[in-house]
A and B are shown apart, each in its own frame.
Chain A
Amino acid sequence: EIVMTQSPATLSVSPGERAALSCRASQNVRSNLAWYQQKPGQAPRLLIYGASTRATGVPARFIGSGSGTDFILTINSLQSEDFAVYYCHQYTSGKTFGQGTKVEIK
């Protein structure tokens, strides 16, 4: 099974600042990597697929990058609605998720 490791577990950021979330795969997943945002009591929301393609309706401040084993989700100029938990997900071999990064208000 491909293990996905996200860091940090918690990221404290002030509104308007930039956040960079890391996701590392234990094997090469090529560009088969997605990012989701989840708020309390809600289902996850797809943000990025194919490592860097924004899903429909996702603001341009969300930027996905990377390929192979190392990926980054950058959120520029954090808005109040961006404080949430973010998960990465590989779909190259089986389906596995990272453990999540919580982005909280500093």
Chain B
Amino acid sequence: EVQLMESGGGLVQPGGSLRLSCAASGFTFSSSWMTWIRQAPGQGLEWVANVKQDGSVKYYRDSVRGRFIISRDNVENSVYLQMNSLRAEDTGVYFCVRDDASGYYEYWGQGTLVTVSS
């Protein structure tokens, strides 16, 4: 059974940092692109970043590029999102998602809540 378990969310002040983690199991982690998707309170889904199987290629949405860093550890079967210079508009639930080779998202974690507020 595929499982994705996020952790690391919480309350942080504007300008602060937070590191999200996602522990994966039930599939060959090193064979999958991995993605972070977020959802602001009461809003829709927003793709944030993804990372290639070996970590050599990373993509970011424009609004987080230069502030967020996605990484992975194929020994620990984990993917991370280092979030720096956080803004109020970064508030939301962050989901860890496994990329299907075709591009859609079949497996999601339960999400971790990030609140950026003073």
Contacts and interface: CB of A to CB of B under 8 A. Distances in A.
Q: How big is chain B's contact interface, by range?
A: 10 to 19
A45 B45 CA distance: 12
Nearest to A32: B103
A97 B47 contact: yes
A90 B36 CA distance: 16
B105 A34 contact: yes
Q: Which interface residue of B44, B50, B95, B100 has the most chain A CB atoms within 10 A?
A: B44
Contacts, number: 50
Nearest to A43: B108
A106 interface: no
A50 interface: yes
A99 interface: yes
Contact of A89 (B105, B108, B111): B105
Contacts of B108: 43-45
Contacts of B110: 42-43
Given A34-B105, A89-B105, A94 B47 contact: yes
Interface residues of A, number: 22
B46 interface: yes
A46 interface: yes
A99 B46 CA distance: 9
A49 B100 CA distance: 11
Interface string A25-50: 00000001010100000111110011
Contact of B102 (A42, A45, A91): A91
A45 B105 CA distance: 9
Interface of A: 32, 34, 36, 42-46, 49-50, 55, 87, 89, 91-92, 94-100
22 contacts: A32-B102, A34-B104, A36-B105, A43-B109, A44-B45, A44-B95, A44-B108, A49-B102, A50-B102, A50-B104, A55-B106, A87-B45, A89-B104, A91-B102, A91-B104, A92-B103, A95-B103, A96-B47, A97-B44, A97-B46, A97-B47, A100-B44
